[in-house]
Amino acid sequence: MEPTIADRGSHIEVEIGLSKLRGGEFVDVLAYASERFGRKPILVLCDDHQREMDLQEGYRIGVEVAKRFPMQAVAIVLRGRHASEAEHFTELVAANRGGQVRYFQDVASALSWLSAQ
């Protein structure tokens, strides 16, 4: 699945496949979205019904997002499951590096958090 990017006014929405989220190009997709629509909070939508994200990938995503998007809120919705220890670890890693990354299981919670940032 190729990522889709949309400007929703208050935030940028990026729908991305799990392989792209787990791959090295994920942060480049977010950078492209920010360059195209300006610096806004980002909502990432991704299906992960099989719980394929692991701790190493979560750590890498947290570090990369914090480096490229300091103080820009990024909410990642992993549809089909609850956030795991790996995702909570990602949030901590990002926060320790100045990033604002949170994982959610539903879009409404993610949008609520983004609007408060």
| CATH for 53 | 3.30.750.24
Tell me the residue range of the domain where 29 lies: 4-116
- Each residue's pLDDT expressed in tens, for the chain with a length of 117 residues: 789 999 999 999 999 988 888 877 889 999 999 999 999 999 999 887 677 677 777 778 878 888 898 889 999 988 877 777 777 778 888 888 888 998 888 999 999 999 988
Number of domains in the chain: 1
Rg (CA), the chain: 12
pTM (two decimals): 0.88
Concatenate the DSSP letters of all residues of the chain into one string.
Answer: ---EEEE-SSSEEEE--HHHHHSTTHHHHHHHHHHHH-S--EEEEEE-TT----HHHHHHHHHHHHHHSTT-EEEEEEETS---HHHHHHHHHHHHTT-EEEEESSHHHHHHHHHH-
Query: Which of 89, 92, 4 lies closest to 44 in space, CA to CA?
Result: 4
